[in-house]
Amino acid sequence: MSNHQAQMPLCQRAFSQLLIIDAQERLAAAMPPDELDQVVDNINRLITAAKILDIPVIATQHNSKGLGPIIESIRTNMPMVHEPTEKTAFSCCTAPGFERNISSHPDRRQLIVVGMEAHICIAQTVSGLQRWGYQVFVPSDAIISRKTAYKENVLERMRQCGIQVVCAESVGFEWMGDSTDAQFRDVWSLFK
């Protein structure tokens, strides 16, 4: 292995935050139903794992007057430390209040990004987060677009630009790191 080969970063519990982008009811209604169920399940698995492991959870909602509230099963599972950042910009990074929410944990420079829509708000946000110097992980099974081809296209773009494309289960196990972890059984059971 050459010294120039890139290292594969892992999600670190002590440095992570979970960011849920625009997982809203009216937006969800436009998504492929089979894929949507899996994405919502995986977002909820990651929220529950984050709560077990004391990892901050932050959310945004895009034009909630038009797109409705966050999907109920996600909304009721989220720890309400911060109200979701209301936004009209596609990139969360240009939404007033968003930077304050993520920077309230200055040592947590890894963001695990989930939600809707992969090729619009998620793509523009991860680009902004990368510019701000965050290490960004995107679980491909916890994001969605109206058309699968749009999601596949943006995942390829992300990979080429150094965004870590992962799966939800990988995130959970990377957060734990060891099967002797006190919370291992609680987190592992989420992905059984």
Question: What are 107-153's pLDDT values in tens digits?
Answer: 999 999 999 999 999 999 999 999 999 999 999 999 999 999 999 99
Judged against a pLDDT cut of 50, whether residue 1 lies above it is answered with: no
At 80 the pLDDT is 75
Closest CA to 18 of 42, 38, 47: 47
Q: Determine the average pLDDT of the residues in 73-86.
A: 89
Distance, first Cα to last Cα, the chain: 35
Q: Determine the average pLDDT of the residues in 46-58.
A: 96
Q: Determine the average pLDDT of the residues in 5-28.
A: 93
Q: Tell me the domains of the chain and their CATH numbers.
A: 13-191 (3.40.50.850)
pTM (global) more than 0.85: yes
At 81 the pLDDT is 73
**∠59-40-107 over CA atoms, to 5°?**
35
At 190 the pLDDT is 96
Mean pLDDT lowest among 2-16, 19-33, 45-59: 2-16
Judged against a pLDDT cut of 80, whether residue 5 lies above it is answered with: no
Q: Determine the average pLDDT of the residues in 38-47.
A: 98
How far apart CA 115 and CA 65 sit, in angstroms, is 18
